[in-house]
């Protein structure tokens, strides 16, 4: 094939028009919201929270997960906060957390008086592994948080075996992985309890912000619900007042009504993302320089983004230049997903409460005074991968554009 001039050098772009918008909200969500307003106006009663729409949304979510219990909360960060709160760990317990995640995927740990210990990733992916977790265990470890990043499942069986061997709780952070599968099991159903984000950028949303705590364990569900609502005595046969301290992390009926409408579309959203992601993966399967990043065998990513592994050794340019060239061709590319909270000042400088270094410096904590984090593989992973912003409204033209642009740029830059 004749080599074409790259767009970055003034040649024609592979893709002239931007990728389509997600169009996540539509008539169904508007109708659901308006119905609540109509009801509120007719009855003179403002809609609230934990009412029939929220209960329905939680039932719908649990049904999507194949059973179990769901409590809707107001963010993914608070979903993790409440999931961890449900475990009722003793203060200063260590909790293993992932190296690559959103800050909201770690911050709840110290805010609960627990000590986060960061386990590295598999160098081939953004996800942690049982070996990386095992390297960080101590006699103080009580729980493990794993995050299925970018829609890709963590290799869960070894993590679950490790946790069982050490009597540890497993929390799955599914903020980026609604519907993902691991050996036929849905992300969120494998650990003791799971946290989801339903903010507007996620696979399905509840409007601007939202989250869900999900578990198959009824006792953990009640504990999460109580913790998410100031310790109200939910699920206690003879309640005599609030049973534990907790914040108000509730979702609300309006957001839940939007969430139920969204959940009806979720299977179609997931299927469309899988079609696009798998088509690009298959199209690049034999490519010498750029492939879809390694995924755990017998898993199905739901592609919150499409992670590409770039073998810069096979190119005459570095990954940054490759990404610039790809972007110039009209492909929405994020050159480096540097979501490594252990690199941020709050973590390194132990800024949680006040200036004393809580929880690491407290007398009751017998572990290291400095935060522990292994992130070498995580840094390698973000340095050797880039992300393409695909979504459910992408289809054959976007698949073709991605493959053609990668083909064009790598032909121009091959060694």
Ligand X SMILES: Cc1ncc(COP(=O)(O)O)c(C=O)c1O
Per CB under 6 A, which region of 12-20, 72-80, 162-170, 287-295 contacts ligand X? 72-80
Nearer to ligand X, 201 or 356 (CB): 201
Nearer to ligand X, 29 or 173 (CB): 173
Binding residues for ligand X, rule CB under 6 A, total 15
Nearer to ligand X, 133 or 243 (CB): 133
CB 366 → ligand X: shortest distance, Å?
Answer: 29
Residue 176 touches ligand X, criterion: CB under 6 A: yes
Per CB under 6 A, which region of 70-78, 116-124, 233-241, 390-398 contacts ligand X? 70-78
CA 190/CA 172 separation, integer angstroms: 8
Residue 85 touches ligand X, criterion: CB under 6 A: no
CA 175/CA 149 separation, integer angstroms: 8
Nearer to ligand X, 326 or 375 (CB): 375
Give the one residue of 33, 65, 71, 75 binding ligand X; rule: CB under 6 A: 75
Residue 71 touches ligand X, criterion: CB under 6 A: no
Nearer to ligand X, 255 or 401 (CB): 255
x-or-dash string of contact with ligand X, 124-163, rule CB under 6 A: -----------------------x----------------
Give the one residue of 112, 160, 175, 399 binding ligand X; rule: CB under 6 A: 175
x-or-dash string of contact with ligand X, 183-222, rule CB under 6 A: --------------x-x-----------x-----------
Q: Are 260 and 119 in contact (CB under 8 A)?
A: no
Residue 76 touches ligand X, criterion: CB under 6 A: yes
Angle between helices 76-87 and 218-227 (to 10 degrees): 120
CB 223 → ligand X: shortest distance, Å?
Answer: 20
- Nearest CA to 172 out of 217, 139, 136 is that of 217
Give the one residue of 53, 85, 105, 188 binding ligand X; rule: CB under 6 A: 105
């Amino acid at each position: 094939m004749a080599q074409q001039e790259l767009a970055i050098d003034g040649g024609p772009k592979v893709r002239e028009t931007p990728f389509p918008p997600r169009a996540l909200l539509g008539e169904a969500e508007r109708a659901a919201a308006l119905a609540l307003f109509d009801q509120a106006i007719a009855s003179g009663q403002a809609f609230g929270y934990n009412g029939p729409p929220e209960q329905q949304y939680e039932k719908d979510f649990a049904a999507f997960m194949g059973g179990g219990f769901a409590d809707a909360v107001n963010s993914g960060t608070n979903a993790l906060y409440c999931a961890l709160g449900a475990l009722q760990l003793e203060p200063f317990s260590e909790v293993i957390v992932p190296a690559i995640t959103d800050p909201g995927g770690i911050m709840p740990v110290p805010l609960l008086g627990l000590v986060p210990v960061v386990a590295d990733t598999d160098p081939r992916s953004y996800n942690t592994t049982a070996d990386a977790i095992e390297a960080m265990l101590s006699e103080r470890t009580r729980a493990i948080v794993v995050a299925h990043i970018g829609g890709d499942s963590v290799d869960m069986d070894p993590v679950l075996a490790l946790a069982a061997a050490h009597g540890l709780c497993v929390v799955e952070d599914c903020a980026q992985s609604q519907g993902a599968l691991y050996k036929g099991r849905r992300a969120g159903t494998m650990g003791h309890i799971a946290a989801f984000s339903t903010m507007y950028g996620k696979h399905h949303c509840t409007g601007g912000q939202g989250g869900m705590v999900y578990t198959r364990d009824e006792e953990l569900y009640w504990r999460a619900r109580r913790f998410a609502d100031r310790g109200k005595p939910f699920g206690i046969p003879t309640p005599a007042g609030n049973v534990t301290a907790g914040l108000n992390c509730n979702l609300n009926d309006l957001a839940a009504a939007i969430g139920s409408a969204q959940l009806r579309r979720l299977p179609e959203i997931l299927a469309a993302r899988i079609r696009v992601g798998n088509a690009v993966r298959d199209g690049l399967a034999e490519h010498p320089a750029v492939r879809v990043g390694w995924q755990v065998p017998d898993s199905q990513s739901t592609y919150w983004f499409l992670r590409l592994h770039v073998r810069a050794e096979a190119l005459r340019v570095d990954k940054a230049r490759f990404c610039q060239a790809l972007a110039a061709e009209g492909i929405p590319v994020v050159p480096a997903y540097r979501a490594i909270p252990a690199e941020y000042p709050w973590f390194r400088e132990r800024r949680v409460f006040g200036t004393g270094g809580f929880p690491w410096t407290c007398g009751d904590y017998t572990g290291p005074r400095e935060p522990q984090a292994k992130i070498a593989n995580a840094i390698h992973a973000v340095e050797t991968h880039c992300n393409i912003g695909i979504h459910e409204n992408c289809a054959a033209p976007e698949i073709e554009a991605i493959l053609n642009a990668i083909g064009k740029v790598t032909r121009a830059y091959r060694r």
